[in-house]
């Protein structure tokens, strides 16, 4: 190899390629790496010099790319058909040489002197305990006063005789009959859908045995929902189960029929436009004109006799 030429004013470059470098490639001091075989080349005196090479085959057999560790050797692995790093078996152990003479034992050095232990300081004198004072004496218990003598019970006097029954006085005159009081009552009907939402139509009849005036109407539902119930009225003699009476033309609720809207209860005490007077023997019919969700509905009329 000739003398190396180096131009200090020119920085070395790192070059790469998939094969060996061409002589015309690069400048003095450049490095080149073969990316296929990982070989390293350095350009010196105009020539590329190989500095590091990897063996890929020996005698036409592939060499493993696994790097060896310390003390391993290269051996042929028939199972993989390649050369691989392996821990080789060493040669036979040579004869043991003679044991050398034991050297003389050196003398034991002198132990250093142990320093003296310092004296323990004295314990201070405990202070005297003060004397316990004399307990005061218990005062004497005063005498219990004497119990006074109980007075004697007086004798019970004899029971006097029962007096005779006096003569009954004359019966007084019968007073005037008072005015008839006002009686409050209620009538109504329960419509049951049997677990399903109730349907429309006439749901029942009630005969009113006394004359009365309707004061208010209340609706109670099993679940939140909506319903409208109309009330029809006819006399006992007119009733024929709805063939001619009672029918829609016999309604007493005008344009304000009992109504519940998206709720479980409703009440109306105004009864706008209603015919509130009911004669003894009149028959009321209850007709559901619309209903949603509610499966059980109770209608109650509060009346005054």
Tens digits of pLDDT across the chain (305 residues): 333 344 445 678 999 998 889 888 999 999 989 888 788 888 998 898 887 666 666 666 766 667 778 777 768 788 777 767 787 654 455 476 687 677 677 677 677 677 687 687 677 677 677 677 677 677 677 687 677 677 677 677 787 788 777 687 677 677 575 455 569 999 999 999 999 999 999 999 999 999 999 999 999 999 999 999 999 999 999 999 999 999 999 999 999 999 999 999 999 999 999 999 999 999 999 999 999 999 999 999 999 99
The alpha carbon dihedral of 260, 261, 267, 273 has a sign of negative
Task: Report the predicted TM-score, pTM, of the whole model to 2 decimal places.
Answer: 0.43
Which tokens in the block code for residue 296?
């059980």
- Residue 128, pLDDT score: 78
Closest among 297, 159, 282 to 225, alpha carbons compared: 297
Query: Residue 81 region, left (φ>0) first, then alpha (ψ -120 to 50), else beta?
Result: left
> Long-range pairs for 74-83 at CB < 8 Å and ≥24 separation?
83/58
pLDDT of residue 109: 63
What lies within 8 Å, CB to CB, of 74 at 6+ separation is: 58, 63, 68, 83, 84, 85, 86
pLDDT value for 269: 97
Chain-centroid distance of CA 134 in Å reads 71
Give the DSSP H or E segment for 44: strand 40-44
- Which among 46, 40, 33 is positioned nearest to 6, based on CA atoms? 46
Tell me the three state secondary structure of residue 249.
helix
Q: What's the confidence (pLDDT) of residue 133?
A: 64
d(CA 230, CA 288): 6
Identify the burial level of 291 via C-beta atoms within 10 angstroms of its C-beta, where 0-12 means exposed, 13-18 middle and 19 or more buried. Answer: buried
Residue 27 has which token pair?
């400048």
**Contact between residue 186 and residue 267 where contact means Cβ atoms under 8 Å apart:** no
* Neighbour-count burial for 30-53, b at 16+ CB within 10 Å, e otherwise: bbbbbeeeebebbbbeeebeeeee
């Amino acid at each position: 190899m000739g003398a190396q030429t180096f131009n200090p004013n020119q920085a070395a470059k790192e070059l790469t390629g998939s094969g060996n470098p061409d002589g015309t490639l690069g400048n003095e001091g450049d490095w080149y790496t073969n990316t296929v075989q990982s070989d390293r080349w350095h350009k010196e005196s105009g020539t590329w010099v190989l500095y590091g090479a990897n063996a890929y085959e020996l005698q036409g057999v592939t060499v493993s790319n696994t790097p060896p560790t310390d003390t391993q050797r290269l051996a042929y692995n028939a199972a993989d058909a390649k050369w691989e790093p392996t821990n080789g078996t060493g040669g036979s152990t040579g004869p043991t040489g003679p044991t050398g003479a034991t050297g003389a034992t050196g003398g034991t050095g002198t132990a250093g002197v142990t320093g003296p232990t310092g004296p323990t300081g004295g314990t201070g004198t405990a202070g005297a305990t003060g004397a316990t004072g004399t307990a005061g004496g218990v005062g004497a218990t005063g005498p219990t006063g004497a119990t006074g003598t109980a007075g004697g019970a007086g004798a019970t006097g004899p029971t006097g005789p029962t007096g005779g029954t006096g003569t009954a006085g004359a019966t007084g005159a019968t007073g005037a009959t008072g005015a008839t009081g006002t009686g409050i009552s209620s009538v109504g009907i329960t419509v049951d859908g049997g677990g399903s939402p109730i349907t429309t139509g006439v749901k029942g009849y009630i005969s009113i045995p006394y004359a009365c005036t309707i004061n208010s109407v209340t609706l109670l539902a099993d679940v939140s929902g909506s319903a409208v119930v109309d009330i029809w009225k006819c006399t006992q003699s007119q009733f024929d189960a709805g063939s001619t009476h009672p029918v829609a033309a016999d309604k007493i609720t005008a344009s304000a029929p009992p109504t519940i809207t998206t709720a479980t209860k409703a009440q109306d005490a105004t009864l706008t436009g209603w015919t509130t007077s009911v004669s003894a023997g009149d028959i009321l019919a209850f007709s559901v004109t619309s209903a949603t969700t509610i499966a059980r509905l109770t209608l109650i009329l509060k009346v005054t006799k």
